[in-house]
Structure 1
Amino acid sequence: MDRIDDGLETKAGAGTDIAALFAEFSTAFEEFKRTNDQRLGEIEKRGTADGLLEGKLDRLNAVLDGQKAALDRAKAERARPAIEGKGQIADGEYKEAFSAYVKRGEEKALSIGVPADGGYVVPAEVETEITRLMTHISPIRAIAGVRQVSGSVYKRPITVTGPQTGWVAETASRPTTTSQTLAELSYPTAELYAMPAATTAFLDDAAVDVGQWIADEVNAAFAAQETTAFVNGNGTNKPNGFLNAAKVAESGWEWGKLGYLATGVDGALPSSNGADVLIDLVYALKAGYRQNASWVMNRKTQGALRKLKDGEGNYLWQPATAADGNATLMGFPLVEAEDMPNMDEDSFSVAFGDFRRGYLIVDRQGVSVLRDPFSAKPYVLFYTTKRVGGGIADFDAIKLLKFGES
């Protein structure tokens, strides 16, 4: 139990009681606001704030982060259904055969699930559950566009510029219009793997739901790896992250690059009117994208932006209004992705955009499992793989904030 001077705490005893966790989070944020108001008042009067007050604010920030993480875990746990529950009889024969393969290594009746690169394909319900659980854990997957494909590469034509149009009189001649410009975006899939281990005694337990066990074991590992790639991946044996795209100042934006605005200060927001650059970033995005836009940043950057107020003294950062919602910044949902860089010199620590249109995740159908009882005796290893790709889908749908002079 982590306790701070003002009595606020992250309560492990709250368990998965979402209402209690949400109430604690709301209480902590109210105390955060009171403390930050004191800090700002001291800065206004004396030019600096008391160190004890700054320390208390940092601890409150940590409490908010811890309670938010606990709330997220509780929501994911509540959303998890049983896979092989009573009444699910579709494809039952294959599920039974797959369970026998996982538990005892029996391979009969599984030939229909053998992919070209070895292993056995998990039942459809297990694949769906793995993807669903990953969506709860992977912040980028939760907001990006997702497409399932059967091949190893997905190619998508896109219109960069449309045909020339105009108004003419009824009997006037029609000038020849300029042809539209098309480009092709390619999304190769790469292999993502996890290797959970189990004892023979565990697998022999008749009560073990092997499909749920595999889904639980691999989803966190898959989600962590793919989130890193969706943000920073270089496209070599992994997806292309959106921060790996070419970048250009918004004033010189062109297709194929992500536009950015600079804060004007290395590694920080401006000391006065720091919120102005965030407002500018919001309106750098076209209205058609802005209505479905989200902020993406890591925990430390979010902690810094929690302290900002608008000209009327209202906090720009607001907690979720319901337990299953997202915090907001300037009214737009805020998504926490720890793979985003910290605020540093020339870092691109904040992204804002319509990620559903701006970033595409490609899932190849099929999750395969290869049973290995030999490499780590007395444990049985399960080499579990799926193929995932990703990359920018619309370079105009995402904007970045650069913490630098230009």
Structure 2
Amino acid sequence: MTELQEQKNNLLNELDGLFAKIKEEKRAFNDEESTRYDEIEKELAKLDKTMKAEERSRSFEKEEGTNMEEKRSAEDIFSDFIKEETRAAGEMTKTANGNIIPTELSNDIIKRVSELSGIFAQVRRIDSTGKYQQIIEKNKVTAGWTDEMAQVTKTSGDYDIIEIDHYKLAGLTTISLEVLNQANFNVSGEVVGQLSESFAAKVEEAIIKGDGVKKPTGLVTSGVTVPLASKTAVTGDELIDIYHSIKAPYVPNASWLMSRDTLAKVRKLRDNDGQYLFQADLTKEFAGYILGKPVVVSEFMDNLGGTGVAPIMFGDFNKAYIVNANPQQTIQILNEVYATQGAKGVLGFLFLDGKPVNAECYAVAKTPAV
């Protein structure tokens, strides 16, 4: 950085000399001076860009080093707590539900749940330690044209308030004492990984088909209903009907949601030109695209073949559904329960709730009821 600054200073001094000369002689740049001026400007721009990049790189390195240090500290505290080492006792906050997991690891769990659950990544998430209230509009205010000086008809909107609290989701994993006492075993990473997988499956199932009884209310309970003609198959025309069943403002960010079994049937559909309706996703972010919109796959979506089931959804799930997740997760260590097995139980709790908040945003395709 010092050498770069020195080069910059030399160029600026040379530039000052050029300006001093033409000012003294009261004239404009000649061809040689004009060319040199352009060269100096380009060199100065390159130096500035290089110096900014180096400064930014150092900032990233410092930030990354700080984050890694904090994360290692959180992992050490968490690992020591699981091993019941006394040095971690004062660093874990005790609550009625157990001990609060360090924030770094709580964020890791939520992040991994999002990575493991396609639909959890799609919906809107609120992180709060208490109840969340969402105002929804039942009937919109109606505008209308009117004559000059004429009476304007009064209309008013109708609103509801949806309360999204927290339900307790528990996940249990066990670790043998032999593995736990190995110096090179990443206790924290193993526990976070197993709890994340356990939470992801239950959260995804509840977001899709939860009944709202001590768990989130699922997407299937709301939305624009689109009837399918058959219990065992879906046609290309029906996919188009589903696509156009939601209002235009929600289409740009819309996606499909279906099971692997249903997707396998959809992948075989072709248009009138013999082209498959399903297009592979080269980025691997989604399963692929149908009618230009990404496909999210879930094992908890119904398969085609059932009576009155919902095998396909389509819409803007970020505007359709809200999850309220408590960032303060807790954990309990179960020693006596698994003592005869030579293991410890690690019981984690995730507190969250979720509800559909806009039925216009998405469609739910359903098979015939009989």
- TM-score bucket (shorter structure): 0.7 to 0.9
Deviation digits for residues 164-184 of structure 1 (CA, Å, limit 9, x no counterpart): 333456x62562532211111
What residue number does 2:359 align with?
Answer: 395
The answer to whether the 8 Å contact 1:191/1:386 transfers is: yes
Matched, 1:137 2:98: no
Residue deviations 1:83-132, cap 9 Å, x none? x9886334876654433211225363136x222x2311111111111111
In 2 relative to 1, CA 207–332 (structure 1 residues): closer, same or farther, beyond 3 Å?
same
Deviations, residues 193-240 of structure 1 (Å, cap 9, x unaligned): 111111223223333333322211111111111111111111111111
Q: Which consecutive segments of 4 or more residues in structure 1 shift more than 4 A?
A: 84-87, 91-96
Q: Is 1:267–1:346's contact at 8 Å kept on the other side of the alignment?
A: no
Distance 1:89 1:120 in 2: 22
In the alignment, structure 1 residue 310 sits paired with structure 2 residue 289: no
Indicate how the Cα distance of structure 1 residues 242 and 325 shifts in structure 2: closer, same or farther if over 3 A, else same.
closer
Match of 2:230 among 242, 262, 265: 265
Root-mean-square deviation (CA), in Å? 2.4
- Name 1:226's counterpart in structure 2: 203
Residue 186 of structure 1 and its aligned partner are, at CA, apart by 2.0
Structure 1 unaligned spans of 5+: 1-83, 246-256
CA contact (8 A) 1:369 1:384 kept: yes
Name 2:329's counterpart in structure 1.
367
Q: 1 or 2 for the larger relative contact order (CA 8 Å, sep ≥6)?
A: 2
CA distance in 2, matches of 1:312, 1:279: 16
The one-letter amino acid paired with 2:117 is S
Count of residue correspondences = 303
Secondary structure of the 1:361 match is strand
Q: CA deviation at 1:287?
A: 0.9
Q: Distance in 1 between matches of 2:159 and 2:149?
A: 30
Matched with 1:211 is 188
Change (3 A) 1:174 1:365: farther
**Which of 178, 181, 196 is equivalent to 1:201?**
178
Distance 1:163 1:347 in 2: 35
Distance in 2 of aligned mates of 1:325 and 1:118: 37
How far apart are the structure 1 equivalents of 2:291 and 2:262?
A: 15
1:354 Cα deviation after fit:
0.7
Residue type of the alignment partner of 2:277: L
Note closer, same or farther for the CA distance 1:129–1:97 as it changes in structure 2 (3 Å cut): closer
Q: CA deviation at 1:388?
A: 1.5
- Matched residue type, 1:320: D
1:165 is aligned to 2:113: no
Residue 236 of structure 1 pairs with residue 213 of structure 2: yes
Uncovered stretches (5+) of structure 2, i.e. residues with no partner: 1-63
Match of 1:147 in 2: 126
2:106 is matched with which residue?
127
- Which protein has the larger Cα radius of gyration, Structure 1 or Structure 2? 2
1:316–1:172 Cα change, 3 Å? same
Which residue does the alignment assign to 1:382?
346
TM-score after normalising by structure 1: 0.69
Question: 1:353 aligned to 2:315?
Answer: yes
> Cα distance, 1:398 vs. partner?
1.3
Identical positions, percent: 23
The 2-side partners of 1:189 and 1:343 are apart by: 33
Q: CA deviation at 1:158?
A: 1.5
Rounded Cα–Cα distance in structure 2 between residues aligned with 1:234 and 1:85:
45
What amino acid maps onto 2:303 in structure 1? Answer: N
Q: Is the 8 A contact 1:268 1:403 kept in 2?
A: no
1:241 partner amino acid: G
Residue type matched to 1:370 in 2? Q
Distance 1:263 1:87, change over 3 A: closer
Corresponding residue for residue 343 of structure 1: 304
Q: 2:362 corresponds to which letter in structure 1?
A: I
> In structure 2, what is the equivalent of residue 19 of structure 1?
none
Aligned letter for 2:128? V
CA gap 1:402/1:91 in 2 versus in 1, 3 angstroms: closer
